[in-house]
Amino acid sequence: MADQPSRAVLDNALQCIRADREHGASWLARAAADALAEACGAAAVAHGADEALREIHTATRALAHARPSMAALANTVAHIWAAGAAPPADASWDATDAGTALARMRDAARVEETLWSRAAGEIVTAARSYLNGGTLLTHSRSGTVEHALTRLAADAADAEPRAIFVTESRPGGEGVALARILATAGWRVTLIADMACGLFVGQARAVIVGADSVRADGGVVNKVGTYPLALAARAAGVPLYALCETRKVAAPEYPLTFEEMDAAELLPRPMPGVTARNPYFDLTPAPLVTGVVSERGLLSPDEIRAIAMAAARSLAALDAGLG
């Protein structure tokens, strides 16, 4: 049997990731990489590594599908699997092969953790020229965007505080927490209702949002409300930039899924004849996105497509399993 601690680590990570409503795709992908590194490290030295590898493959596939709106999660765990455990086409695994594969997966997972940890800082460097000067507007609470904005405030600590509009970001209202953090960091924050964005976006130099995933054509999946904000920005002639890591670029065939949360957030008490739906994500079409800024810089459409194809290859290896 596979070693019980490894299985418990992955089961716990899967449950936490499925239930999490506080963190974005970057944080969840990093958490999944950490869990895989720990599980593979323990299983690599355990008796029965071949069975452990098969069970870890099952757990990895479950992690890949745990949050269907977040390609970053699927891409991260698929890359770890492909880097460490995809077998040669003409070979089958024996126990020695499995132990080696688990060790490679552990190393690949640690590399992924490092890449995720560094990416936010690299994105700040790449995005600085698009964000400096003038008022900004942001929606939802992207960890990457929060890091970029707090860094910008720290870099200009002696200058007059810069201004930013922050939407409430309902349902969930995570924009309120972001507003508090940015005000503490030194921004001059104006909190606005989501549907007031059309009134204020024309005063902004740029709109900056995160992304839970980026489609192969450059469209951006993000917190619901991003699409109408992008329409308002286009009408006002204001550029909209999505800041995100390259692991968030989805494979071309990756399903477009919008997770729905508890309808009671909208309708706490049932109302006869009324059905409430509570999608948390929407798709902003590529023509409304001025640019996707990653740790590699501003991504061209060709670069996005190439990253999407690489993601497809990793996901195919995960689906193929051990043959």
> What residues does CATH 1.20.120 cover in the chain?
4-118+311-320
Does the pLDDT of residue 4 top 80, yes or no?
Answer: no
Judged on CB neighbours under 10 Å (0-12, 13-18, 19+), 319 is exposed
Does the pLDDT of residue 1 top 50, yes or no?
Answer: no
> What residues does CATH 3.40.50.10470 cover in the chain?
119-265+278-309
Strand pairing class (291-294; 213-214): unpaired
Query: For the chain, what is the mean pLDDT?
Result: 90
Does the pLDDT of residue 27 top 50, yes or no?
Answer: yes
The per-residue pLDDT for range 250-296, each reduced to its tens digit, is: 999 999 988 898 999 999 999 999 999 999 999 999 999 999 999 99
Report, as an integer, the average pLDDT of 77-98: 71
22-57 core/surface letters (b: 16 or more CB in 10 A; e: else): eebbbbbbbbbbbbbbbbbbbbbebebbbbbbbbbb
pLDDT at 312: 96
**Class of domain 119-265+278-309 as given by CATH:** alpha beta
Judged on CB neighbours under 10 Å (0-12, 13-18, 19+), 107 is middle
Which one of 50, 194, 212, 282 is the catalytic residue? 212
The per-residue pLDDT for range 151-175, each reduced to its tens digit, is: 988 887 666 678 999 999 999 999 9
3-state DSSP call for residue 125? Answer: helix
Looking at residue 132, its amino acid is N
Task: Based on the residue annotation, tell me whether 212 is a catalytic residue of this protein.
Answer: yes
The confidence band for 323, taking pLDDT boundaries of 50, 70 and 90, is low
Give me the helix-helix angle, 174-185 and 143-155, nearest 10°.
20
pLDDT at 273: 97
Topology (CATH level 3) of domain 4-118+311-320: Four Helix Bundle (Hemerythrin (Met), subunit A) (1.20.120)
Stated pTM of the model: 0.88
